[in-house]
Amino acid sequence: MALLTAKGIHVRFGDRVVLEEVDFDVREGEFHGIMGPNGAGKTTFFNVLTGRVKPNRGSIELAGENVTGFPSHKIARKGVSRSFQIMTLFDEFSARENVLAALPEFRDSGFNPAKAVTAEKKWQDAALDVLAEVNLAEKADVKAKELSYGERRALEIAVATAQRPRILCLDEPTSGLGSDGVRRLSDLVQRLKGKLTIVAIEHDMSFLFSLADRISVIHWGQVIARGTPSELRENEWVRRSNLGKFA
């Protein structure tokens, strides 16, 4: 069953059409990769899925509910979390505080001024657990802006998983990572796979082809190819384009 379905998504900025007509679906539990050339509109498509950009046409259904045009905070509360291609961490917060702010139990604690953030041990512990999963437990009290690039990437993912999402959207998670970092990320995603439904935009083909259940190729504002990694290896366009160079 499809957990998320996007139909006929059309987005333009002024008179520039970025997405012509994108159809897309994610099945419960699958890892769905998205690839495509620079500027193809992949991030824009994520922005549509997560409520940041309203599509000019088309619809999005999440678990059978029409969520088209919902604002991002509402989509987030329905269980869609995301990481950002250009990192947008809370720079002044420690790693732990970044994760803490993402915990649903923290978010739902409301406006009660009698609660002190630092005194709520269960939040602090829960945040630490999430950090441990991405090997950042030792850096819990380091400010986000003082972390190394690779650590910040890991923190991005920790924040997205801390939301305990139904669907995790990752926008180029390997970008800027060295081979070591990519390997660690692969391990992490491998562990998340199956527990979570994941959609990942990625330029790193070996990363994507080794992990994805299905891959969609976005180009010219459309999905021009879709299938399992082995199906895509046979695809004419993928073979001809630079993107196929992995093979």
Ligand X SMILES: Nc1ncnc2c1ncn2[C@@H]1O[C@H](COP(=O)(O)OP(=O)(O)OP(=O)(O)O)[C@@H](O)[C@H]1O
The site for ligand X (CB under 6 A) is made up of 13, 18, 36, 38-44, 85
What is the nearest approach in angstroms of ligand X to the Cβ of residue 21?
15
Using CB distances below 5 to 8 A depending on partner kind, what does residue 117 bind out of other proteins, ligand X, Mg ion, none?
other proteins
Minimum CB distance to ligand X smaller for 84 or for 93: 84
Of these, 43, 50, 161, 163, which contacts Mg ion (CB under 5 A)? 43
Contacts of 96 (CB under 8 A, 6+ apart): 124, 127, 128, 131, 140, 141
44 binds other proteins (CB under 8 A): no
Partner whose binding site includes residue 72, from Mg ion, other proteins, ligand X, none (CB under 5 to 8 Å by kind): other proteins
Q: Is 192 within 8 Å of 199 (Cβ atoms)?
A: no
Name the segment binding Mg ion (CB under 5 A); options: 9-17, 77-85, 158-166, 219-227: 77-85
Q: Per CB under 8 A, which region of 8-16, 93-101, 189-197, 222-230 contacts other proteins?
A: 93-101
Place of tokens 């910040």: 152
Contact 210, 186 (CB under 8 A): yes
Selected binder of other proteins within 8, 13, 54, 109 (CB under 8 A): 109
Q: Does residue 92 bind other proteins (CB under 8 A)?
A: yes
The yes or no reply on residue 163 touching Mg ion (CB under 5 A) is: no
Query: Does residue 47 touch Mg ion according to CB under 5 A?
Result: no
Does residue 90 interact with other proteins by CB under 8 A? yes
246 binds, among Mg ion, ligand X, other proteins, none (CB under 5 to 8 A by kind): none
Site string for other proteins, 129-158 (x = CB under 8 A): ------------x-----------------
161 binds other proteins (CB under 8 A): no
Closest CB to Mg ion among residues 189, 200: 200
CA distance 124 to 100: 7
Q: Binding partner of residue 15 among other proteins, Mg ion, ligand X, none, CB under 5 to 8 Å per kind? A: none
CA–CA separation, 59 vs 7, rounded Å?
A: 5
Residue ranges that bind other proteins, judged by CB under 8 A: 50, 52, 71-73, 76-77, 81-82, 84, 88-94, 97, 100-102, 104, 106-107, 109-119, 141, 159, 163
